[in-house]
């Protein structure tokens, strides 16, 4: 890759490449057919395949959730048995965490968008990228085998010694998770390399889109934390299979050790899930307020801070477990430290809106929903970090509500923001804005009706993972169930209008939102090689005070079919701008 600094290379010839609105050649018209898709190394197609897989898993996990909520309409048995209920909540959790949230933003949207934001033609290791996808599929197959056998009833946390003794198919699922982990590790490695090595001329670290910064931080966590999960499930498998005493006290092991191992991965994993969401929020909020992001470095570096401190707080899931008192104290303290960078981001995003030019299109609506719901998730996280209070709240519905506010209200809502934002880019089609807004109302209202009551009943003492409950909690459970149906309706509407858009939607222009992001300076849908020139970047990705033309520069080549101005004109103009421009 060329490393020339555009601003001081007098001889570098750049010219403007305005993306055409009606591209005839796109990645969708190249390499058609099922086989071509399945063997493609194109990061965009792989991203789409992940998106489809994640959507299917989300539908399954969501259907399970509705069954769970329906069972909870009344205390004791409503329509399924206790053992079935225990299997359903386990699967719901495991699917949503491992198969939906972890891969959703990085592997699906990230795969599609991130190389384009770097002006690259693909990720650094395209074949490895495809391999990651198939490893993910293999992990999924193992999990489905478990379902076909005896299911899984340990909770997504696989706590020992229950999981050592359970008669369900624990080994199939742990092996599935083990395999899945490699997909995550390889994607992370691929992204880190891509971000270091494949940036287009002019994209310095200070001009990296915040989405890329977020994916960078995420990839670091993926690469460092996932192996620990792999080791943990491997040890568990060895204990079940070969009878090694590691975690089961009956075999001379220590059950609390398992929890340490598990959360050493799974706490960082919650940041694997949320940090990519942060990236999307930054992109969307700046585009829809046409304004430079406030505190670029604060947002970029706080992602890294979270990635690192996130490794040091796992013990806050174990305040009641019997871990040592010193550990408990230190973990509580560090938990508050990780809350701060999260709070800083929220303030920065709000400050970005100040004096902006705000357009409340669907992606922006989801950003607003995110800011509201995720704030609640963060505050309640602080609540749970406080030692004496957590003793009371641990393993109640309060915790259930907390992590749904951060994972669904945070990650999933961010995913929806990103999906609506980049949908025209990925498909070249527009969706029905009115229906999209209606759906967002269902999601927002449904979400709060489902999960707000859970805070209250949790604080009143309702434990989690309960099939039966004492009468006192009936009203809360019923409200929550009704909310979940509203959520279901919301997602069905989304499914409807997105499918409609795909097959019958109006064509989208190249850059329907007027974004300055580099990915928007390609056609929609993009060319097979993203850009048919090498983009050259002179401004930051959020410099809305600079004219659009200057975001469409590329190395001048002899053969180009696009309407270009003469190279010299562009260079001169650009140099004028450069003089009185400095990156904040």
Partner 1 sequence: MDRLFEFMLPEAKSPTADSTDALFHFINEVSLVLLIGITIALIYFAIKYRRRSEDDETPVITHNNTLEITWSVVPLLICFVIFGWGYTGWLNLKSVPDNAYEIQVTGFKWNWSVKYNNGAQTLNEIHVPVDRPVKIVLQSSDVLHSFFVPDYRVKHDVVPGRYTYVWFEANEVGESQVFCTEYCGTDHSDMLAKVIVHTEEDFQTWLEKNGGGVSGTPVEQGEQLVQLQGCTTCHSDDGSRLIGPSFKGLWGSEETLTDGSTVTVDENYLRESILNPGAKIVESYDNVMTPYEGRISDEEITNIIEYLKTLK
306 binds ligand HEM (CB under 6 A): no
Q: Which residues contact 245 (CB under 8 A, 6 or more apart)?
A: 239, 251, 252, 253
Question: Minimum CB separation from partner 1 for residue 41, in Å?
Answer: 38
CA–CA distance, 463 with 396 (Å, rounded to integer): 4
Q: d(Cα 533, Cα 177) in Å, to the nearest integer?
A: 41
Binding mask 436-455 for partner 1 (x = CB under 8 A): -------------------x
Instruction: Please give the Cα distance from 416 to 2 (Å, whole number).
Output: 35
CB 171 within 8 A of CB 240: yes
Long-range contacts from 233-236, C-beta under 8 angstroms, 24+ separation? 233/158, 233/174, 233/175, 233/177, 233/178, 234/174, 234/178, 235/261, 236/158, 236/160, 236/163, 236/164, 236/170, 236/174
Q: Which of 28, 41, 387, 452 binds partner 1 (CB under 8 A)?
A: 387
Select the span of 116-124, 266-274, 503-511, 526-534 touching Cu ion (CB under 5 A).
Answer: 266-274
Distance set, CA 203 to CA 47, 163, 251 (Å): 23, 49, 56
Residue 198, helix vs strand vs coil: coil
Q: Which of residues 4-63 bind ligand HEM (CB under 6 A)?
A: none
Site for ligand HEM contains 281 (CB under 6 A): no
HEC profile of 218-231: HHHHHHHHHHHHHH
Given a contact cutoff of 8 angstroms between Cβ atoms, the answer to whether 257 and 263 are in contact is no
Residue 388 tokens, joined: 């004496």
Query: In the window 393-422, what residues touch partner 1 (CB under 8 A)?
Result: 394-396
- With CB under 5 to 8 Å by kind, the binding choice for 391 among Cu ion, ligand HEM, partner 1, none is partner 1
- Shortest approach of ligand HEM to residue 269 CB, angstroms? 8
Indicate whether 106 belongs to the interface with ligand HEM (CB under 6 A): no
Binding mask 153-172 for partner 1 (x = CB under 8 A): xxx---x-xx--xxx-----
Helix axes 362-385, 413-427, angle to 10 degrees: 150
CB under 5 to 8 A by kind: which of Cu ion, partner 1, ligand HEM, none does 296 bind? partner 1
CB of 374 to ligand HEM, least distance (A): 8
Radius of gyration of the chain (CA): 24
Residue 438 binds ligand HEM (CB under 6 A): no
The distance of closest approach from Cβ of residue 411 to Cu ion in the complex, given in angstroms and rounded to an integer, is 14
Considering the rule CB under 8 A, would residue 379 count as an interface residue with partner 1?
yes
If one asks whether residue 73 binds partner 1 (CB under 8 A), the answer comes out as: no
Instruction: By CB under 6 A, tell whether 384 contacts ligand HEM.
Output: yes
Structure tokens at 261: 């191992």
Asked if omega into 525 is within 30° of 0 (cis), the reply is yes
Q: Which does 460 bind (CB under 5 to 8 A by kind): ligand HEM, Cu ion, partner 1, none?
A: partner 1
332-351 residues in contact with ligand HEM (CB under 6 A) are 335, 339, 342
Among residues 383, 452, 489, 548, the one that binds partner 1 under rule CB under 8 A:
383
Place of tokens 């957590």: 390
267 binds Cu ion (CB under 5 A): yes
Q: Which residue from 340, 379, 129 is spatially nearest to 371, judged by alpha carbons?
A: 379
- Asked if 403 is part of the footprint of ligand HEM (rule: CB under 6 A), the reply reads yes
Element (H, E) at 149: none
Nearer to Cu ion, 318 or 487 (CB): 318
Member of 39, 149, 460, 566 binding partner 1 (CB under 8 A): 460
For residue 179, give both structure tokens: 């395999």
Closest CA to 404 of 412, 414, 396: 412
Question: For ligand HEM, which is the closer residue by CB, 14 or 274?
Answer: 274
- Count of residues near partner 1 by CB under 8 A: 92
Q: Which does 265 bind (CB under 5 to 8 A by kind): partner 1, ligand HEM, Cu ion, none?
A: none
Each as own residue / partner, the long-range contacts of residues 576-580 (CB below 8 Å, 24 or more positions apart, any chain) are 577/538, 577/539, 577/546, 577/550, 578/7, 578/538
- For residue 163, whether the previous peptide bond is cis, meaning omega lies within 30 degrees of 0, is no
Is residue 290 a contact residue for partner 1 (CB under 8 A)?
A: yes
Q: Is 315 in the site for ligand HEM (CB under 6 A)?
A: no
Q: Is 390 in the site for partner 1 (CB under 8 A)?
A: yes
240 binds, among partner 1, Cu ion, ligand HEM, none (CB under 5 to 8 A by kind): none
Single out the residue of 399, 443, 518, 571 in contact with ligand HEM (rule: CB under 6 A). Answer: 399
Rounded least distance, CB 555 to Cu ion, Å = 46
Residues 292-351 that bind partner 1 (CB under 8 A): 292, 294-298, 320-322, 325, 328-329, 332-333, 336-337, 339-340, 343-344, 346-348, 350-351
Q: Which residues bind ligand HEM (CB under 6 A)?
A: 157, 270, 273-274, 316-317, 335, 339, 342, 378, 381-382, 384-385, 390, 393-394, 399, 402-403, 406-407, 410-411
Q: Which residues bind Cu ion (CB under 5 A)?
A: 267
């Amino acid at each position: 890759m060329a490393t020339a600094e555009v601003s001081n290379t007098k001889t570098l010839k750049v010219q403007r490449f305005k993306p055409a609105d009606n591209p005839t050649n796109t990645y969708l018209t190249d390499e058609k057919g099922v086989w071509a898709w399945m063997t493609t190394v194109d990061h965009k197609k792989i991203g789409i395949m992940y998106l489809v897989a994640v959507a299917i898993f989300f539908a399954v996990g969501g259907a399970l959730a509705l069954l769970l909520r329906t069972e909870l309409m009344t205390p004791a048995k409503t329509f399924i048995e206790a053992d079935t209920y225990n299997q359903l909540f386990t699967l719901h959790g495991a699917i949503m965490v491992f198969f939906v949230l972890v891969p959703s933003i990085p592997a699906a949207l990230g795969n599609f968008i991130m190389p384009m934001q770097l002006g690259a033609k693909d990720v650094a290791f395209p074949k490895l990228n495809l391999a990651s996808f198939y490893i993910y599929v293999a992990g999924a197959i193992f999990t489905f085998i478990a379902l076909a056998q005896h299911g899984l009833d340990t909770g997504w946390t696989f706590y020992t010694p229950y999981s050592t003794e359970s008669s369900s198919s624990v080994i199939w699922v742990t092996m599935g998770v083990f395999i899945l982990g490699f997909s995550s590790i390889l994607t992370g490695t691929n992204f880190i390399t891509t971000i270091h090595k494949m940036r287009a001329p002019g994209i310095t670290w200070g001009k990296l889109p915040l989405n890329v910064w977020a994916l960078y931080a995420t990839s670091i966590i993926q690469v460092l934390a996932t192996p620990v999960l792999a080791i943990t499930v491997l040890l568990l498998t060895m204990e079940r299979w070969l009878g090694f005493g590691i975690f089961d006290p009956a075999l001379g092991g220590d059950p609390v050790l398992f929890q340490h191992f598990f959360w050493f991965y799974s706490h960082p994993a919650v940041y694997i899930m949320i940090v990519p969401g942060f990236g999307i929020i930054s992109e969307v909020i700046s585009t829809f307020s046409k304004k430079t992001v406030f505190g670029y470095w604060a947002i970029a570096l706080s992602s890294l801070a979270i990635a690192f401190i996130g490794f040091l707080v796992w013990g806050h899931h174990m305040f009641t477990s019997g871990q040592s008192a010193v550990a408990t104290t230190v973990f509580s303290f560090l938990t508050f430290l990780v809350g701060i960078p999260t709070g800083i981001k929220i303030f920065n995003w709000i400050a970005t809106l100040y004096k902006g030019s705000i357009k409340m299109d669907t992606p922006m609506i989801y950003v607003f929903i995110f800011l509201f719901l995720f704030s609640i998730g963060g505050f309640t996280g602080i609540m749970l970090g406080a030692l004496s209070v957590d003793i009371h709240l641990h393993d109640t519905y309060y915790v259930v509500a907390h992590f749904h506010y951060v994972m669904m209200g945070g990650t999933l809502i961010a995913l929806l923001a990103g999906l609506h934002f980049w949908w025209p880019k990925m498909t070249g089609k527009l969706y029905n804005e009115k229906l999209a807004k209606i759906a967002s109302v269902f999601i927002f209202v449904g979400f709060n009706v489902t999960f707000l009551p859970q805070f209250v009943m949790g604080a009143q003492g309702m434990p989690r993972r309960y099939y039966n409950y004492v009468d006192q909690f009936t009203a809360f459970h019923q409200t929550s169930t009704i909310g979940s149906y509203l959520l279901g309706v919301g997602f069905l509407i989304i499914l409807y209008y997105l499918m409609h858009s795909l097959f019958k939607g109006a064509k989208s222009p190249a850059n329907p939102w007027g974004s300055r992001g580099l990915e928007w300076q390609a056609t929609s849908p993009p060319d097979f090689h993203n850009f048919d020139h090498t983009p050259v970047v002179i401004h930051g990705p959020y410099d809305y005070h600079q004219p659009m033309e200057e975001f469409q520069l590329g190395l001048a080549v002899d053969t180009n079919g696009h309407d270009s101005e003469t190279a010299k004109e562009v260079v001169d103009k650009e140099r004028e701008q450069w003089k009185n421009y400095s990156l904040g």
